[in-house]
Amino acid sequence: MTLHPSIAAVRLPVRRTLARPEPRGGGRETVAVACSGGADSLALASAAVFEGHKLGMRVVGVTVDHGLQPGSAEQADRVVAQLASMGVDETLTARVEVDAASGMGPEAAAREARYAVLEQVAEHLRAGLVLLGHTLDDQAETVLLGLTRGSGGRSLQGMRPAFGVFARPLLGVRRADTVTACLVEGLEVWDDPHNADPGYTRVRVRERVLPVLEAELGPGIAEALARTADQLRDDTALLDDLALDVLSEASRDGGLDVTVLAAAPPSLRHRVIRRAALDSGAPPSELTRDHVLAVDGLLVGWRGQKWIDLPGPLRALRRDGLLVIEAPASP
């Protein structure tokens, strides 16, 4: 019997992810699959069961209830039942509290809470991998959103294929394939109302912006955006490694040698400044490029400035030929 192309498109990257040689924990290997009940995560869970069991793995389906809409608990129960019928070895449901007062916005706050609980689940299960169902379409949307923010190459890298315990096997798979795979396998897909709410920027990008780009510029826009993310990720990794070398060379007596930093190319110098600020306690969400450029002025635009205020609160200043980032003295 010939395997449907969409099912094959989902299973192949899952197989490659699960079969990679790195050790993923002691004893019988366990892999967790985050599943919301949408087409992407259901197709991922089905592929993980099929491919994971062939490799002798224990597959655990994990559903996170964010409690952000009426009936979320009942939906979580439905997903658990679906996962059990698909043949997972165990199911888990975790309810998280989304901090609406965090200042991050509901999407970012929900994502942070979700990843935190999934890390706890992985530790509890001793799972070496937690699979996430993001697709090529999600990647294209992320890159386009990063482009509109004008926040540089790092934001244009999109989502990483793997980080920590997490892996995204479907970043090269189109959403149309996950939807078709679920139809072919007879899996009932849940359509999250938030995914159709134009109040969310990502939804407007998905429903309005990308279709216009495809219509006006031709097909293949999503693939091109995802390909750009891959290329920038490789370039950024190299620049980050080179910046670490500069950071190591410049580090001296609790600061960074101004002469060494000033001689470095701007792309490396800016990375060193950002890394030094983060290491000193600057919150990543508050540290901006304007902060980095202002500190850079202490190195290549020195006019006797006293200091540069940074989030934390921190101050960057020149002292005895060093760039120092420290907490301001108490009054």
Helices (H) and strands (E) in the chain, counts: 13, 11
Q: How many domains does the chain have?
A: 2
Are residues 198 and 322 both part of a single domain?
A: no
Closest CA to 288 of 269, 309, 305: 309
Residue 183 has pLDDT above 90, yes or no: yes
CATH number for 179: 3.40.50.620
Whole-model pTM: value is 0.83
3-class DSSP state for residue 9?
helix
CB 106 within 8 A of CB 100: yes
Share of the chain above pLDDT 70, in %: 90
Q: What is the pLDDT of residue 24?
A: 47
Stronger pLDDT, 67 or 149, i.e. the higher one: 149
3-class DSSP state for residue 321?
coil
Are residues 205 and 263 both part of a single domain?
A: no
Residue 25 has pLDDT above 70, yes or no: no
Q: Answer yes or no: is 237 within a domain.
A: no
Q: What is the pLDDT of residue 47?
A: 98
Residue 1 has pLDDT above 90, yes or no: no
The CB density around residue 146, as the number of other CB atoms within 10 Å, is: 20
Q: What is the pLDDT of residue 155?
A: 74
Q: What is the mean pLDDT of residues 208-218?
A: 92
Residue 85 has pLDDT above 80, yes or no: yes
Q: Answer yes or no: is 260 within a domain.
A: yes
Q: How far apart are CA 137 and CA 171, in angstroms?
A: 8
Are residues 295 and 203 both part of a single domain?
A: no
Are residues 183 and 71 both part of a single domain?
A: yes
Q: What is the pLDDT of residue 68?
A: 60
The DSSP symbol for 328 reads: P
Q: How far apart are CA 298 and CA 222, in angstroms?
A: 41
Residue 23 has pLDDT above 50, yes or no: no
Mean pLDDT lowest among 69-73, 93-97, 248-252? 69-73
Residues of the domain holding 200:
5-217
Q: What is the mean pLDDT of residues 105-112?
A: 71
Are residues 201 and 258 both part of a single domain?
A: no
Q: What is the pLDDT of residue 331?
A: 59
Are residues 32 and 164 both part of a single domain?
A: yes
Are residues 161 and 301 both part of a single domain?
A: no
Task: Tell me the two tokens of residue 174.
Answer: 């189109």
Residue 39 has pLDDT above 80, yes or no: yes
3-class DSSP state for residue 58?
strand
Q: What is the pLDDT of residue 65?
A: 80
Non-local (6+) Cβ contacts of 82 within 8 A are 35, 37, 42, 187, 188
Q: What is the pLDDT of residue 99?
A: 63
Which pLDDT band, with edges at 50, 70 and 90, does 27 fall under? very low
Tell me the pLDDT tens digit for each residue of 308-321.
999 989 999 999 99
**Which residues are bridge partners to 59 per DSSP?**
31
CB 268 within 8 A of CB 276: no
Average pLDDT, the chain: 89
Tell me the pLDDT tens digit for each residue of 151-164.
667 778 889 999 99
Residue type, 81: A
Are residues 116 and 63 both part of a single domain?
A: yes
Are residues 88 and 204 both part of a single domain?
A: yes
What is the maximum span of the chain, computed from C-alpha positions, in angstroms? 77
Residue 291 has pLDDT above 50, yes or no: yes
Which of 192, 217, 242 is where one domain is finished? 217
Pairing mode of beta strands 166-167, 129-131: parallel
Which pLDDT band, with edges at 50, 70 and 90, does 70 fall under? low
Q: What is the pLDDT of residue 90?
A: 95
Q: What is the pLDDT of residue 167?
A: 96
- Cα dist. 297→167, 174, 321 in Å? 39, 45, 14
